[in-house]
Structure 1
Amino acid sequence: MEITDLTPAELRVWRAFPLNEGVDLRESADDDPADGASWGPGRTVRAEVLRALLLDGPTTGGRVPGLKLTGARVTGRLDLMYGTVDPAMRLRSCHFEKPPNLYGAQVRALVLSDSVLPGLTAGTLRVGIVLRMTGCRVTGPVRLAGAQLSGALFLDGAVLGVPGARSGRPPGPEREDSGERPEPALQLNHATVGTDVWAVGLTAHGRVRMDGATVGGLVNLDDAELHDPDGLALEAETLSVGTDLRAARLRARGMVNLSGATIPRRLVLSSARLSTPAGQALRASVSTIGELWLRGTAPVQGAVNLRGAQLDLLEAAPEVWPERVRIDGLTYRRLSPHLPAERRLPLLEREETGHLPYAYEQLATAYRAAGDEVGARTVQLAKLRRHRRTLPPYARLWGYVQDVTVGYGFRPMRAAGWLLVLLLTGTLAFARERPRPLKADEAPDFNPVFYTLDLLLPIIGFGQEAAFAPRGVHQWLAYLLIVTGWILATTTAAGVTRALSRQ
């Protein structure tokens, strides 16, 4: 391109490029790039001029060239497809007439902060330093599928998509799929980010797709708002991050899908609001997460699926959980806050797939690890009571007997209580009306306490039962004491056996 073909605004950019100097075309610092379509020739730069500069622009000895343009209206399409761009590209507060095309390009740095774009096509883009889209407003899809960023990606304060609009579908290699779902507002699927994805305060009207992405540091979605009319706000299956995924105060209308994700430190959903009333609001099945924080989170609207997930710490109040949960195979070591077991048990009753003994064992293990043996026994007892519902009538009857007498072995003091009541009853009854001796000359002195113990204890004998025979109602009382004693002995033995098998 000849320099004589340039407009005055383009000439300023051309001369500043080899010196890496900035050109600010704004009339005031408050100019809104959304109004860029009305900017006149003094603020207009053709995309083909920028392309010529970036691919083969002039240089000055001893200076590193670079494009540093602010407040421009960029007409035409900035097409750098498959190109190699060594100079840094900094296009702040600009208004783009058409979506830039950087598919397959290699760039040193790309800064589009506070700009307004109708979209961005940059699948498989290679960025050497940083990709910064802070404060951008992008009405169309941002396509970064398969991109490789050595540094960080900044999307803090960006607004992607248009409320209520369905994104168009990309042509050729950028085509999303052949289904009917709208194209995601942000596509980072299978992308590689060397450090962090910084998206604090991001607003996305449409799906944010990050499945298969690898992030060396953290993903920060604090204060983000994700809205998807088709019900999938964040699609991040098999996402791998180096440290944390932060989403404190997140507002998600649509499912947050983290199935198979690897998050070594923390998944922070504190004070978040997750809402998919007709489907799953949170899915983190078969994921590996260090700590899952749901501290202060509003009650989830929609189902939660943590099937097969592995956690070190699960921090959530019982009020967070919805009526529909999937926790079969969920493994965790610690629970926070520490609450009585009775407050945690209702969650296990909500499991959609029915009775899961493992879920009870996992909860009991967590209480035992916290040194709360009482809580652990309460959970074990609840497990057996729920299992009892699945048994045939005769087995349920025996279960009720074990529960009432010794609490399936987890309430051993009940047996002592029953024994004391029965001992007192028998002692008073037989003291008022002594049974007749079978052999008056050989019978020992009658003792109502030890006579009752002889009836109650099936193994230990004090010589009283064999020497005396009650009559009438007292005979029936004796039979009742004998049967009750055997039941107490049997249920106690079963409870002891169960306790020993657990140890």
Structure 2
Amino acid sequence: MLAESRLTKAERALVEAVRSGAVLEGGNEIRAELIRDLLLGRHVDRPDPRGVQLSGARVVGALDLDFVQSPVRLRLADCEITEIVTARSARLSALDLDGSRLPAFHADRLRVDGNAFLRGVVANTDHPQGAVRLTGAHIAGNFEANGAVLTCTRGPAFMADGLHVDLSVFLRRGFTAHSDDHHGTVRLIAARVDGDLDLNHSTITNSAASAVSARGAQVGGNVYLADNFTASGAGPAASVVLHSANIGGMLLVSGELSNPGGPVLDLVHTRSTSVYLDDRLLCAETCDGRRKMRLAGFTYASLDHTGWERWLHWIRHHTVDYAAQPYQQLAAVQRAAGHDAAARRVLITQQEDLRDRGDLRSRPWGKLAHRAWGVVGGYGYRAGRTAVALLVVLLMAGAAGVAAGQVPTSPGHYAAERTKNARAPHTPCSLVEQVGLGIDRGLPLGATGLRDRCDLNTATRQGQAFTVLIWLLQGAVWALATLAVAGYTGLIRKIT
């Protein structure tokens, strides 16, 4: 504690300002130790609830607020603070550092009973723990750092893992953060924000890792990454990581995201009530598929102003690898809205993507069979195709019967002729009988009975050849009939 007799004129004026609730303005030089004493209730028996208020001052020395419990607020506006400010495990009524310049602010487990303002703060450091650090902190009001400029070369610019804010977090209106650290620039991992998370009009960059990482964050309201929001990252991690985040409102992304070494957006296992992604996010000047995102496990109730066809295009051409869930989710949303045709289109595209990027790539025959199934039956989502194919094969069987009735085996005899049960045995079958023979042979079930009067002569090579041909057609009829039934009942779709 500073002795009363050692206080300077400016410091005595600050003591009187705390007693009366006034703001001490001007270019005064104040020792950091006095600020700590005043927050602890020293020098003033009954401090005004407005607390310690300095504007335009120069604070010298280490401002150590660790474990300080104070019923009054701290306001250092437009001040120059010469050393790192620490407030670990402290509790303050309110905090306001608007417009101040300082090396860094480290306040793990800080508790603020009201709002915490770092608007316009400028912090530049190479400290490995970051420029602004609020790990595990709890702020009962809003947290605002609008217009702040944070730079850290060896650590995150804004480190707030486990932060809990009862209202909203605003990092907007010119908020700028840069880091060269592999831990990321702005970190809100496992943070809880009961209101909105707003990063509109902010610029966040990192030369080695993610620009924004909010893995596992819980946001009760909306997440805004729009209106001139810029995030530039590097490496395999996405520029913006919202992996496993839970968003109670809308996720709005319409800024400029870039990452030359990996995806721009990670929404793996993220949950949101609604989502809007601007076209320019992935298809800026051209849509060449180079900008990617991760979507596996992302769930939402609606696409807010984002057309399902555009979303389908992104899943197909702008995801890092194939995953079934994004297609299933989009189809479920379309089906819930009554757009069954759109849902079928989505699921057919899923099968095409599975063929091109899924496990089928390592199985050439499986890939070929999958492609054939798509052509014949639309992967079970266009069963009408299968019915048409079944009809075509039956017509081929009828044509085979006609052909057999035209191929001679010996003078006056043909590969298909009347049987001994007919009125004129061993004579040529009529055209109707030949067609009926082919269909009768091709049908797996439900024979027409024509073979009692007209059948293939299997004692001849020609008759045997036509028998084998019709067996093959019969097998095709079996397969197509099975697929048609499965397609109409949804069995194939349930399996795949």
State TM-score, norm by structure 2.
0.74
State the shift of 1:433 in Å.
Answer: 7.1
Find the counterpart in structure 1 of residue 178 from structure 2: 205
Find the counterpart in structure 2 of residue 20 from structure 1: 21
- SS of 1:339's partner is helix
Structure 2: how far apart are the matches of 1:414 and 1:129?
Answer: 66
CA distance 1:417–1:92, shift in 2 (3 Å): same
Structure 1 alignment gaps of length 5 or more: 26-41, 167-181, 302-317
1:157 maps to 2:147: yes
Find the counterpart in structure 1 of residue 276 from structure 2: 293
Find the counterpart in structure 1 of residue 236 from structure 2: none
The letter of the residue matching 1:224 is S
Structure 1: how far apart are the matches of 2:5 and 2:170?
Answer: 42
- For the 8 Å contact 1:236–1:261, the answer to whether it is kept is yes
1:94 maps to 2:79: yes
After TM superposition, list the pairs within 5 Å mapping 1:337-376 onto structure 2.
337-339=307-309, 343=313, 346-347=316-317, 352=321, 361-362=328-329, 364-376=331-343
The letter of the residue matching 2:307 is P
The letter of the residue matching 1:272 is G
After TM superposition, list the pairs within 5 Å mapping 1:391-410 onto structure 2.
402-410=373-381
Match of 1:143 among 118, 126, 133: 133
Find the counterpart in structure 2 of residue 260 from structure 1: 244
- SS of 1:278's partner is coil
- For the 8 Å contact 1:409–1:492, the answer to whether it is kept is no
Find the counterpart in structure 1 of residue 128 from structure 2: none
Structure 2: how far apart are the matches of 1:67 and 1:119?
Answer: 20
- For the 8 Å contact 1:341–1:375, the answer to whether it is kept is no
Structure 2: how far apart are the matches of 1:430 and 1:262?
Answer: 67
State the shift of 1:158 in Å.
Answer: 0.8
CA distance 1:340–1:370, shift in 2 (3 Å): farther
1:383 maps to 2:351: yes
State the shift of 1:204 in Å.
Answer: 0.9
Find the counterpart in structure 2 of residue 454 from structure 1: 440
After TM superposition, list the pairs within 5 Å mapping 1:214-363 onto structure 2.
214-248=192-226, 249-254=228-233, 255-268=239-252, 270-299=253-282, 326-331=294-299, 334=302, 336-339=306-309, 343=313, 346-347=316-317, 352=321, 361-362=328-329
- For the 8 Å contact 2:88–2:109, the answer to whether it is kept is yes
The letter of the residue matching 2:485 is V
Structure 2 alignment gaps of length 5 or more: 126-130, 180-184, 234-238, 407-415
Deviates more, 1:45-54 or 1:121-130: 45-54
- SS of 1:226's partner is strand
State the shift of 1:423 in Å.
Answer: 6.4
Structure 1: how far apart are the matches of 2:112 and 2:21?
Answer: 19
1:192 maps to 2:164: yes
CA distance 1:329–1:148, shift in 2 (3 Å): closer
Per-residue CA deviation, residues 371-420 of structure 1 (Å, 9 max, x unaligned), is 34444445555538727936866666665665554445444333443455
- SS of 1:453's partner is helix
- For the 8 Å contact 1:409–1:496, the answer to whether it is kept is no
Per-residue CA deviation, residues 257-291 of structure 1 (Å, 9 max, x unaligned), is 333333222333x2122223224543343444333
Provide the identity percentage.
27
The letter of the residue matching 1:464 is L
- SS of 2:259's partner is strand
Per-residue CA deviation, residues 287-320 of structure 1 (Å, 9 max, x unaligned), is 443334323452299xxxxxxxxxxxxxxxx969
Structure 2: how far apart are the matches of 1:436 and 1:372?
Answer: 54
1:414 maps to 2:393: no
- SS of 1:230's partner is coil
Alpha-carbon RMSD across the aligned residues, in angstroms, is 4.1
The letter of the residue matching 2:229 is L
Structure 2: how far apart are the matches of 1:400 and 1:47?
Answer: 74
CA distance 1:247–1:455, shift in 2 (3 Å): same
Find the counterpart in structure 1 of residue 43 from structure 2: 57
Structure 2: how far apart are the matches of 1:210 and 1:342?
Answer: 30
Find the counterpart in structure 2 of residue 438 from structure 1: 419
State the shift of 1:155 in Å.
Answer: 0.5
The letter of the residue matching 2:54 is L
CA distance 1:241–1:415, shift in 2 (3 Å): closer
State the shift of 1:59 in Å.
Answer: 5.6
Structure 2: how far apart are the matches of 1:320 and 1:157?
Answer: 35
Structure 2: how far apart are the matches of 1:375 and 1:398?
Answer: 25
Find the counterpart in structure 2 of residue 122 from structure 1: 107
Per-residue CA deviation, residues 101-126 of structure 1 (Å, 9 max, x unaligned), is 33333221221111212222333322
- For the 8 Å contact 1:123–1:147, the answer to whether it is kept is yes
Find the counterpart in structure 2 of residue 468 from structure 1: 454
CA distance 1:429–1:295, shift in 2 (3 Å): same
Structure 2: how far apart are the matches of 1:70 and 1:260?
Answer: 42
Structure 1: how far apart are the matches of 2:366 and 2:335?
Answer: 29
Per-residue CA deviation, residues 203-235 of structure 1 (Å, 9 max, x unaligned), is 111222322333232221112211222213223
After TM superposition, list the pairs within 5 Å mapping 1:492-503 onto structure 2.
492-497=481-486, 499-500=488-489, 501=491, 502=493
The letter of the residue matching 1:259 is H
Per-residue CA deviation, residues 454-488 of structure 1 (Å, 9 max, x unaligned), is 34433333343442357999966786456324412
The letter of the residue matching 2:232 is R
Question: How many residue pairs get matched?
Answer: 448
State the shift of 1:132 in Å.
Answer: 1.0
Deviates more, 1:433-442 or 1:192-201: 433-442
Find the counterpart in structure 1 of residue 91 from structure 2: 106
- SS of 2:66's partner is coil
- For the 8 Å contact 2:244–2:268, the answer to whether it is kept is yes
Structure 1: how far apart are the matches of 2:93 and 2:471?
Answer: 90
CA distance 1:364–1:12, shift in 2 (3 Å): closer
CA distance 1:266–1:322, shift in 2 (3 Å): farther
The letter of the residue matching 1:454 is D
Structure 2: how far apart are the matches of 1:340 and 1:99?
Answer: 48
